[in-house]
Structure 1
């Protein structure tokens, strides 16, 4: 039960983000592809339009998985961890996203740095253990 708020809010947010990317124009898709290439260089082999579609469907799939109550929290937590970890890696690798200390976000980097909350939720979903039968918390 404690996972419902985490999964519902995060799943709806990611599903909506993916849904909004369904019809990206070529320039917008190319911009996102360029950022993603900082983490996953092989994405540069794709056409920007194809990358945009794949990104959209991947986000919608992850969002739907988080919303599906029959999928184990650990499993969707791993998926969310990979997704949010990739976003945080982009944040660290793209010039101008951080202040001079390399950690605190610049004005430009705040949009990616805020995704740290998703990584925290992923860790909570993966690490949370169900009590063994007979045990109470």
Structure 2
């Protein structure tokens, strides 16, 4: 792990780990609300019991947060896991009615909480694309 990756991984990993821990014991109504939102991007999730969905989501977030925090995990692998988490979050923001202005990109007041998760995708891409210290690929 590069020194410049530590702030990115530490701040993001801690936030995601904490968020996941808070979802393990969600009440049924909160779990159902999260599930309904996620079902807009992944309709197959709607078939799952809301409490199971909440637990699985919490465990998945904790796994991604743990990967980011573990110094022995290569940054590219941690970035790939973060991209796998952040990509659907951005899709959720873009597909949920009422989250964006009429232009489909800028957030409404209600959409700001999801729109701010775009930074996670940016961090994931920074971890994935950082090639400093690697031989550049040859284009033929």
Normalised by the size of structure 1, how large is the TM-score? 0.94
Q: Which residue is 1:91 aligned to?
A: 93
Aligned partner of 2:23 in structure 1 is 21
Distance 1:44 1:96 in 2: 20
Cα RMSD of the aligned pairs, angstroms, is 1.1
Deviation at residue 130 of structure 1 after TM alignment: 3.7
Residue 97 (structure 1) shift: 0.3
* Aligned match for 1:82, one of 71, 80, 84: 84
Superposed CA deviations along residues 70-119 of structure 1, whole A, max 9, x for unmatched, are: 11111110111111110110111011000111110001100000011111
> Which stretches in structure 2 are left out of the alignment for 5+ residues?
136-140
Alignment pair present for 1:101 and 2:96: no
Give the unaligned 5+ runs of structure 1.
Answer: none
Partner of 1:9: 11
Matched, 1:72 2:74: yes
Q: Would you identify which runs of 4 or more consecutive aligned residues in structure 1 move more than 2 Å? A: none
Report the CA distance between 1:132 and its aligned residue.
4.5
Q: TM (normalized to structure 2)?
A: 0.92
Is residue 126 of structure 2 the alignment partner of residue 124 of structure 1?
Answer: yes
